[in-house]
Amino acid sequence: MPPVFPSIEHIMLKQTAIALLLGSLSLAAHAQTPAAPDTLNRVMESKTLRVCSPGDYKPFSFDHNGRFEGVDNDLMDALAKSLGARVEIVKTSWPTLMSDFTSGKCDIGVGGISITLPRQQQALFTEPYFTNGKTPLVRCADVGKYQTVEQINRPEVRIVANPGGSNENFARTVLTHARLTMHPENLTIFQELIDGRADVFVTEAAEAIVKSHEHKGVLCGVNPDRPLRPAQNGWLIPDRDFRFKAYVDQFLHLEKLSGSLDRTIRRWLPQ
């Protein structure tokens, strides 16, 4: 019996069915992957740059009677101007910073944010624009007592931290033997040292420098030029929005090249 070969029509129908199946699978996969945000286009169309900031961290961003001031706020004004937009501040807190940002409440997150891996898992960061690091802030008479992690990480040492950020993380993961007290926010935490209720507050070098300047002879940063753990600051960018990240990185690059970034930092950080 001679072999039976499929007809041309049968082959074409089979190929069409396969093509349709592959197409539907591709569309299903595409539908399951949310579209990347286009923050750059949104900001230029709305003419509004929504900026998340806790507003409690000098010299980067500080809520001064409703007006946010500092290094980051000056730079946000310049970034918004480059986009033909105005800045709209969305006040957040360190415990809610990432949830506020990832829920879409703002286009960019600023305020002296340390670049960390847990934060990087949820959003993008710009290139670093400032090198910082964990630095003890103490009463000036005690500078010699708290030079190292080993000198601080003792049961008799009273440390204080504010919730939700890298200060709390450092206190809980590195200073595990010291006696930790949590203070609800970052604005009045320094009074705990001044009034003798705490011995050490490990914060970032920049903040230690500012508070040493504001409370001369009372509070002193311990070796802010040699932090206990170096860190860098960057701005939060929505996850997968590489177009907006590239734009903001280029903005920062031009600010560095022109010397404007250094001038802005010197304006707010005591020398």
Q: What distances in angstroms separate CA 75 from CA 12, 35, 38, 203, 253, one per listed residue?
A: 62, 29, 21, 23, 12
To which residue do tokens 């509004």 refer?
Answer: 48
pLDDT band at residue 28 using 50, 70 and 90 as cut-offs: very low
Instruction: State which CATH number among 3.20.20.10, 3.40.190.10, 3.10.20.600, 3.65.10.10 fits the domain covering 133-230.
Output: 3.40.190.10
**DSSP E strand stretches across the chain:** 48-53, 56-57, 61-64, 67-69, 86-91, 108-109, 124-125, 130-139, 158-161, 179-182, 200-204, 219-221, 229-233, 236-237
Q: What is the pLDDT of residues 202-221, one digit of tens each?
A: 999 999 999 999 999 999 99
Q: What is the pLDDT of residues 47-94, one digit of tens each?
A: 999 999 999 999 999 999 999 999 999 999 999 999 999 999 999 999
The confidence score (pLDDT) of residue 30 equals 47
- The closest alpha carbon to 116, from 104, 133, 101, 135, belongs to 133
Could you state, in order of their start, the residue ranges of all structural domains in the chain?
A: 40-129+234-268, 133-230
Q: Across residues 127-142, what is the average pLDDT? A: 98
What kind of fold does domain 40-129+234-268 have according to CATH?
D-Maltodextrin-Binding Protein; domain 2 (3.40.190)
Contact criterion met (CB below 8 Å) for 91 and 111 = no
Residue among 140, 159, 136 at smallest CA distance from 148: 136
Backbone torsion region of residue 84, taken as left when φ is above 0, otherwise alpha when ψ lies between -120 and 50, otherwise beta: left
**CA gap 233, 264 in Å, rounded:** 15
Same fold, 40-129+234-268 and 133-230: yes
